[in-house]
Amino acid sequence: MSIAQLQAEASHAHIHPPPQGFIAKYVISFDHKVIAVQYFITSGLFFVLAGLLAELVRAQLMHAHNTLLSPQTFNEAYSIHGTAMVWLVIIPIMTGGFGNLAMPLQIGARDVAFPWLNMFSFWLFPPAGLLIFLSFLYGAPQAGWTEYPPVSLHTPGTALWCAGVFLIGVSSTITGINFMVTIIKMRCPGMTWTRMPLFTWATLVTAFLSAIATANLSAALAGLFIEKVFSVPFYDPANGGSPVLWQHVFWFYSHPAVYIMILPGFGIVSEVIPVFVRRPIFGYKAIAYSSVAIGLVSFMVWAHHMFTSGLSRWVQLPFMILTMAVAIPTGIKIFSWVATFWRGHVRLSTPLLFVIGFLSMFTFGGVTGVMLASVPADIHEHGTYFIVAHLHYVLVGGSVFTIFAGLYYWWPKMTGRLLDERLGKWHFWIAFLSFNATFLPMHWLGLLGMPRRVVYYDPQFEPTNMFVSISAFVLGASMLIFAYNAIRSAKYGKIAGPNPWGGRTLEWMTSSPPPYYNFAEIPIVLDGPYDYGKPLPYANISQDLATEPVA
Amino acid sequence: MTFILTVISGLLMWGVVVFPIDDYLPRASSAATDIDFIFRFMAFFGVPILVYVNGFLLYFAWRYHTRKGDDLMAVGSDIHDQPALEAAWTIIPSILMLILGVISYLVMPKYYLASAASVATIEAVGHTFYYEFRYPGLKHPVENEMHLPIGKQVTIDLTSSEDDIRNAVIHSFWAPEFRVKQDMIPGMIVPIHFTPTRIGTYRIICTEFCGLGHSEMVGKVVVESQADFDAWFKSQQQLQASAGMQGPIPIANGDAAAGGRVFATKCTGCHAVGPFSERKVGPGLGNLFHDPDHPDLVTGKPADPDDVADVIEHGASGDLGTMPNMQVNQLTDKDVANLVAYLESLHK
């Protein structure tokens, strides 16, 4: 299409009047940027609670037969820690938080396709979290975030837990559908699929996963809830149910959910690297299409969580092979990211430090992931601290570190101010070192015979556990630096200006924070976003915003 | 740089090859050797991936990072695709995964399929929060401590407290030194097979959360010579006899004719009255107590009436399928006694 045609298309968009009053602006807001901040604040609170629960767990595990917590409290603590981290922290931040904050800006849209649904989806989230934490009053679930029946049917709080996670699932499904439609229908003129920023690519795949997979979680939870409350048997063999049925339906959601938690992180990494290395991302198409490949394969690997559940080996075989196959697109991404550093102009700012930490730790988590894919090796490793170590390498070293990269990177788009770099670097180094000190020894514990979800353990593991616990306290304390930095930035943060990092994607082509309508005129895209050294590939962008200052 | 990283990963790979896994976690079963080999194989090829990714990442970040006075607006290389390189990092990992898949596949049958020489079938039942082991020839189960003769392939049928299914939960049977793990699932009987290869006392650990006592659910397994095992077995028999423990179901005075009627309504769906090889679902039972083809039990002696009563009471699982227990079959104690009498009467 010619520029004239694109201009004609862009001129159709109109600006709605801005909302008036505190409630309309900040509470029942339809503005994707405000909703993003709402997600970050809510998830941030749950992150604090989930983090404190983790520190409780580690405090108990300092000694082999510690009397700090009762077994019941301990079991509740790790169960709600896992539940909250997955459903109340990582998934909402990755989709509702970053997806809402960056995706509509990156595609040059004024908002998401369904702003009312976006608001509704957010407001399902705080009550859901409340229900999950209220289950403590009744005796919270104790069987971990996976809540395998029949044992999960024996705790009274399971019903509330089901209701809470179910609500989160509904919220996630709605957001998925909303983002799918937004990305497919609302890209600004000229933004073809291969001109789309890689974070938006990742959000697109994530949206499909959320919309399709979450229904299975809802089904699994509905069954568990009905069985718990109305005694209709689904999973309890005492009444003719099948406990393995839950595992199938639950993991049919929860394996794709692993990618819901990491694909947006991959997207953040793909954004941060070219900006701070100041050169085009290596293998744009390979990175984009490997996200799609991972999304597709993620639906066909769920039973690798069930290699000790008595499946026939003819069932195990395809799941093993497909799980190993996931390593290939993931490897392509990692190698492409590392190659982007080659002959760049690398600025080691905080967002990039977190990305480098991510690359290092996620690669490690990937290698242990392959070790878990092989059925004979998994037979030994399943259900041990090896799993705990692996999942924290991919979900903390992976997801949480990319979340912090994204926060340092996009903080100015939320607040107009930058976070302090010196504090950010302290945060990174302490978190990175203490993270590895916490989780690396767990691989060893697991292989030598320490099962997960135990309140007491074999005293031979006590010195290692003591070391792990102390490291975990340091990791927790490092988050205080971030909290201080975030609060401090409100007053002392450097004013960012529209484009503090010299980015080339569209979110940097408007003020920080952007106006209610995002762009005064709908931008027009003429080329891909990562061609450093070439003029900006946009029309309809006011010239003073399009300069490239560098923080 | 590539040279330095290659040397580092070469050294680490050598470390993986010579690492004495056995010193930290003894290999006490036939499967352990294969599983350790797979683990070593994965670590061997994982090491260069980690070294190259981290090494190049750090090297590039150091080599190309902007220093004081550099032009922050400068841009780096505009090379954004390199088909040969990308093909290499797609194809090489694919080949490695394929090899790993094949090796894993070749090892899988070793613990899934029992060889014909399997000498013993033991039932292991998970309870909250202990293990119960049922040996053929022992009228009562032993708790938390199982004994196995060295060098004999054993089949263990795993399940979870089927006698109290209302409170049954999933447990797991993990013997780290055997590199064997299988969930114990209520309502399912899953057999595992392995051959203990080293004398010693090892742990059995529950790895599926099963309730408040989960972390205390630890049993042990003693691998010993055949002579020691026989001695232990005999001492258990004597212990149970001296404690005045009776068989769970009295089978004296069974009425063969009544048993025949029960057999006709409850058993003929799966069992024929014929030689062992005459299978319907289960084997033919016409010559049960004398047929040399009938799977012998741990003592190697022919089945005795107590064993048969035990199978009828608890059900059984084998490569033919699963036989339900007496509750499922709706049998009374008297029926069991009558059935045993009937089966004994069949041999002419």
Q: Does B94 touch chain A (CB under 8 A)?
A: yes
Cβ-defined contact of A452 to B207 (cutoff 8 Å): yes
Q: Tens digits of per-residue pLDDT, A80-139?
A: 999 999 999 999 999 999 999 999 999 999 999 999 999 999 999 999 999 999 999 988
pLDDT grade, residue A181 (50/70/90)?
very high
Q: Determine which of A185-194, A251-260, A304-313, A440-449 has the lowest per-residue pLDDT on average.
A: A304-313
Chain A residue with minimum CA distance to B159: A310
Residue B69, pLDDT score:
79
Cβ-defined contact of B89 to A335 (cutoff 8 Å): yes
Residue B279, pLDDT score:
75
**In contact, B76 and A340? CB cutoff 8 Å:** no
Q: Does A71 touch chain B (CB under 8 A)?
A: yes
CA distance B290 to chain A (A): 34
Q: Which residues of B touch A345 (CB under 8 A)?
A: 64, 66, 70, 72, 74-76
Classify burial at A387, counting beta carbons within 10 Å of its beta carbon; exposed 0-12, middle 13-18, buried 19 or more: buried
d(CA B186, CA B166): 10
Residue B167, pLDDT score:
75
Residue A186, pLDDT score:
95
Residue A546, pLDDT score:
57
Cβ-defined contact of B100 to A347 (cutoff 8 Å): no
Residues facing B219 on adjacent strands:
B204
Cis geometry, peptide bond prior to residue A150 (ω within 30 degrees of 0):
yes
Chain A residue with minimum CA distance to B83: A283
Q: What is the mean pLDDT of chain A?
A: 93
Residue B14, pLDDT score:
96
User: What does the pLDDT profile of chain B (348 residues) look like in tens digits?
Assistant: 889 999 999 999 999 999 999 999 999 998 899 999 999 999 999 999 999 999 999 999 999 988 887 887 888 888 888 999 999 999 999 999 999 999 999 988 777 666 666 667 899 999 988 999 999 888 788 999 999 999 988 889 999 986 666 678 999 999 999 999 999 998 888 888 889 999 999 999 999 999 999 999 999 999 999 999 999 999 998 888 776 555 567 777 788 888 888 888 888 888 888 877 777 777 788 877 776 666 544 344 567 787 788 788 777 765 556 677 777 777 888 888 888 888 888 875
CA distance B153 to chain A (A): 18
**In contact, A427 and A411? CB cutoff 8 Å:** no
Interface A:B, Cβ pairs < 8 A: 259
* The dihedral sign for the CA sequence A313, B211, A159, A161: negative
Cβ-defined contact of A339 to B50 (cutoff 8 Å): no
Q: Which residues of A touch B166 (CB under 8 A)?
A: 238
Chain B residue with minimum CA distance to A142: B211
Residue B296, pLDDT score:
47
Whether the pTM exceeds 0.90: the reply is no
Residue A257, pLDDT score:
94
d(CA A471, CA A464): 11
Structure tokens at B183: 């969930």
d(CA A482, CA A404): 9
CA distance B231 to chain A (A): 30
Residue A266 reports pLDDT greater than 50: yes
Q: What 3-state class would DSSP assign to A539? A: strand
Q: Does A363 touch chain B (CB under 8 A)?
A: yes
CA A376 to chain centre: 30
ipTM given for this complex: 0.92
What is the pLDDT averaged over residues A201-217? 95
d(CA B7, CA B13): 10
* The dihedral sign for the CA sequence A406, A204, A24, A21: positive
Q: Tens digits of per-residue pLDDT, A313-365?
A: 889 999 999 999 999 999 999 999 999 999 999 999 999 999 999 999 999 99
Q: Does B157 touch chain A (CB under 8 A)?
A: no
Cβ-defined contact of A374 to B42 (cutoff 8 Å): yes
From the list A356, A363, A382, the residue facing B49 with the nearest CB is A363
Cβ-defined contact of A150 to B169 (cutoff 8 Å): yes
Q: Does B109 touch chain A (CB under 8 A)?
A: yes
CA distance B172 to chain A (A): 9
Angle between helices A115-138 and A32-60 (to 10 degrees): 20
Q: Does A17 touch chain B (CB under 8 A)?
A: no
Cβ-defined contact of B93 to A328 (cutoff 8 Å): yes
Within 13 Å, how many C-alpha atoms sit on residue B176's CB side?
A: 26
* The dihedral sign for the CA sequence A261, A266, A269, A271: negative
Q: Which residues of A touch B169 (CB under 8 A)?
A: 150-151, 154
Q: Does B184 touch chain A (CB under 8 A)?
A: no
Q: Does B44 touch chain A (CB under 8 A)?
A: no
What is the pLDDT averaged over residues A155-160? 92
Cβ-defined contact of A279 to B75 (cutoff 8 Å): yes
**In contact, B66 and B132? CB cutoff 8 Å:** no
> Which amino acid would we find at residue A409?
Y
The 3-class secondary structure across chain B, one letter per residue, is CHHHHHHHHHHHHHHHHHCCHHHHCCCCEHHHHHHHHHHHHHHHHHHHHHHHHHHHHHHHHHHCECCCCCCCCCCCCCCCCCHHHHHHHHHHHHHHHHHHHHHHHHHHHHHHCCCCCCCEEEEEEEECCEEEEECCCCCCCEECEEEEECCCCEEEEEEECHHHHHHCCCEEEEEHHHCEEEEECCCCCEEEEECECCCEEEEEECCCCCCCCHHHCEEEEEEECHHHHHHHHHHHHHHHHHCCCCCCCCCCCCCHHHHHHHHHHHHCCCECCCCCCCECCCCCCCCCCCCCCCCCCCCCCCCCHHHHHHHHHHCEEECCEEECCHHHHCCCHHHHHHHHHHHHHHCC
Residues of A (473-502) whose Cβ lies below 8 Å from B: 502
Chain B residue with minimum CA distance to A321: B101
Residues of B (164-183) whose Cβ lies below 8 Å from A: 165-170, 172, 174, 176, 179-183
Residue B321, pLDDT score:
61
Cβ-defined contact of A456 to B215 (cutoff 8 Å): yes
Residue A254, pLDDT score:
94
Q: Determine which of A182-196, A438-452, B3-17, B306-320 has the lowest per-residue pLDDT on average.
A: B306-320
CA distance B274 to chain A (A): 31
Q: Tens digits of per-residue pLDDT, A163-179?
A: 999 999 999 999 999 99
Q: Which of A481, A460, A537 is nearest to A504 (CA)?
A: A537
What is the pLDDT averaged over residues A3-10? 76
Q: Does B22 touch chain A (CB under 8 A)?
A: no
> Which amino acid would we find at residue A87?
W
Within 13 Å, how many C-alpha atoms sit on residue B283's CB side?
A: 17
Which of the pair, B162 or A150, is modelled with greater confidence?
Answer: A150
Q: Which helix (H) or strand (E) holds A492?
A: helix A462-492
Q: Does A294 touch chain B (CB under 8 A)?
A: no
Q: Which residues of B touch A303 (CB under 8 A)?
A: none
